Structure 1
């Protein structure tokens, strides 16, 4: 689970056919991002490039509602500012304003349910409160930003996975909402889990695509390994390998595939050998989180779930 990483909190607000999920790092996290989809909806991604000045972020907002859902990050910023969490503009030792650094990404879910029902500033604020309560940390499926997600012909969702590598935790939380398919129509198994339960291929191939061809898979990779900002970028990049293993095709012109990577470590950096291991783990966790999202999805919204197709 994502919250297996020390210093990370996770909270959701579910609106039935849309929602918002917030990943908090109140003490700050070194972070990077990699955007592979052709139609991204994002906020504050440029500042995460290794050559730019801001080193740490305080939260990532994942939201439904397409570009409208980016407004949820305003509420996240408000909630963090009220708690004194943010970048000290005049320096850590001087009195002055703070600015919470909150990158965000959204999925397109407007064709599922009511397109006017989308996350707002208030929902982002509420998600922070839920994260700090710890009540949502281990939940997967049709929740938060994954509430209105679709995955090819099936209902998508929010999934998590984690692994321990050389004494550090690597974890991922992913909103699986791809244009591409997650089930191999030839074998009936999940692309991301070839040993998974086999679904009825006959039923699968006759399912219409529920939401057209405008989707996105977004997520967060987190670790407590002391990687630098530039090394966080590498974890985000390799995380997309896991996405490509679980979704086919991935990174299409209609997707907005975006993965953030963050570390609650001290930012001193790791050697190349450890970075390679962390990167491989990031890809595996993204792949497993997508599988978790699909297998945990609940029936509803007129969408068919993976579990419903198992004979």
Structure 2
């Protein structure tokens, strides 16, 4: 581990020029005292690290010195696909590998391109998880990722949506990060029959069986995920609601209903004098749809189908009974 850190320190000085001990400590996620010891170790190994004293001082490499240790390992080269998502890379146990690969790439680039790469990093940042939602705890993610990579069969215990635990042997084929949530795509061992998707945070226990498996010929994780997502959306959105919504609800619809909300607005009718419009919105099962539509509050009226309108009216009546004053003084 220390050898990797020494290499990272060397590459930082080569690609960025002079850096202070606190700056190096922040980049390497170590203490300033550790930086002092690492600089001494580099000097003892023959690397010409110069120390400049004073307020503008710091460490730098002797003019003209460049290391040739910039070749990427297999793991570092593969990890570059995760370079734009440092948080997920850390979740997968690849944070240090991604950081080292990025530094090697910076050190190998001509100065002009390296400067431009740093400008891009300064100006663009990818933050995948949704707002106002804590990340799922995924204590077994690194184990699952290793099994995916090495094609090892897993014995898992997971919690179903109903809350009851289940045990199963799986052939883990791929991991997908969707909206800040990790999902595992896997087939059931030993037959690796129809593929299923498991939310990684619901895995209660994970252990390798000691066996390996062959991936299905031609399996494409991205294509499988896209197709299964389409099937899931079609299964979830079982009904179409006819709504009359206010101008405020028109702004809320895309935020609360995502793509179905956007499509509903694109097909909206002409606004009336108060700006209200009629839209057709794909909704989930009746019970879920009632709760979702009530989030729009008084900014929406359900016009149909009759069963959905009646269900919303029943829910509103129950809320009114609960919250309105009761008795002779109401």
Calculate the TM-score normalised by the size of structure 1: 0.23
Q: Which has the larger radius of gyration?
A: 2
